[in-house]
Structure 1
Amino acid sequence: MSEAAGPTLADRTGLPADLLYLRQIFPRERWTTALHPTAAHWLQMHAGFRDHQAHMAALTGRWRNGALDPTGLHRALIPALQAFLQHLDGHHRIETGHYFPAMRKMEPRIVPGLDLLDRDHDAIHAHLETLFHAGMGFHQAVGSGASDPADHADRLADILDHIAPPLLRHLDDEEDIIIPLIALRGDPTG
């Protein structure tokens, strides 16, 4: 990893100071009032991803505690997982294909931060692929009447646990770059 590229999502604990210059002007404490509608919508979308991730974690926690059998976990988790995967993939496609190019023009100084977020999207996409395949394996194990779908449920639960920290890190870091930019400069696409 080169210093110019910045830290990877896997080893990042926050953003480098040079990418936080807009957040210093418009800190998180001010994000609760009079936000630009696009910034407010962005935060609402991210809150939805956090809630969805927490819901899936609660379901796998209930599985691990014995409160759900494989069929019960399947009935609750698979639809939630499908919605989460579709929603997050679509959100990232809109950001990378639509918003980020406009933001690059609006604020050239933030380009390294947008590059970092694009790399995050690639890393998260790889996690989503792994999660999709684990979900499909669990779904097929339950649907086929496999003798023990519990192994597939455990694998899916472990993968959900594994991807949560980098996903949550990305959401926080993206907000630290994007929300102040939109709040201070407006919707780059409008």
Structure 2
Amino acid sequence: MDGSLDLATRDGLPEALRVLLAEMPRSGWQDHPEYGPLTQFWLERHLNFRRLLDLLQGDLTARVDGKLDPRDHAARLSRLGGMFLGELQQHHTIEDQVYFPKLAAHAPELARGFELLDADHHALHEELEGFATEANAVLRGEAAAPLEARVAQMHRFLDRHLTDEEEIVVPVILKVGEGHL
């Protein structure tokens, strides 16, 4: 994979992977005749991951600033962190094993894009392992600042990945139709 496409450094998709997005821009997705419950659910899952990460970040900042009791934070971190990790792992597994192969077969011109998304999932998996390790340290009573820094970095990585994934996947779904997936 081209180093300029690395999740840690890229700032968007290259033009070659934006061909369908150019035909079906984000602003028209909800009005497209093939926009249906699957696409809506999928985008809502992405929004939920962003929201969970926002909650985790806010709690960590409050904890580091002394505005959230460590016991209260531990309970929230355990619940929200577990939900975030479990649901994101499940989401990526379904995408990798079911949706990406089907979508790639319908849009061979975007094969490189699906390879990029797969590489993102591997990079994110490493970040999630680091998150789990540092979250467990916080739950054991260690400082929250390292986890706060990791979550800030993860926020950027995850948002970049989700945005790029949406810009590859949704236009393919709209092109093919949900009934063909």
TM tier relative to shorter chain: over 0.9
Q: Distance in 1 between matches of 2:138 and 2:180?
A: 41
- Which one has the largest radius of gyration? 1
**In structure 2, C-alpha distance between the alignment counterparts of 1:70 and 1:53, rounded to whole Å:** 19
Q: Distance in 2 between matches of 1:21 and 1:167?
A: 23
Q: CA RMSD in A?
A: 1.6
Please name the residue that 1:168 is paired with: 159
Residue 70 of structure 2 is matched in structure 1 by 70
**Contact in 2 for aligned 1:100/1:114 (Cα 8 Å):** yes
- 1:45-73 per-residue CA deviation (whole Å, 9 max, x = no partner) reads 10111111111111112112221122121
Alignment check: 8 A CA contact 2:63 2:69 kept: yes
Q: Which residue of 2 aligns with 1:32?
A: 30
**Per-residue deviation, 1:115:** 0.3
- State the percentage of identical aligned residues: 32
Asked if the contact 1:102/1:189 (under 8 Å) is kept, the reply is: no
Gaps of 5+ in 1: 143-148
Provide the residue aligned with 1:21 in structure 2: 19
TM-score, normalised with respect to structure 1: 0.88
Q: 10-19 or 130-139, which moves further after superposition?
A: 130-139
Instruction: State whether residues 7 and 157 of structure 2, in contact with CA within 8 Å, keep that contact through their aligned partners in structure 1.
Output: yes
TM-score normalized by the length of structure 2? 0.92
Distance, in Å, in 2 between the alignment partners of 1:179 and 1:2 is 23
Is 1:125 the counterpart of 2:125? The answer is yes
* Distance in 2 (alpha carbons) for counterparts of 1:133 and 1:189: 40
What number of residue pairs does the alignment pair up?
179
Q: Report deviation, 1:189.
A: 5.8
Q: For residue 11 of structure 1, give the secondary structure of its aligned residue in structure 2.
A: coil
Unmatched segments (≥5 aa) in structure 2? none
The whole-number CA distance in structure 1 between the counterparts of 2:73 and 2:124 is 24
Letter in 2 for 1:104: A
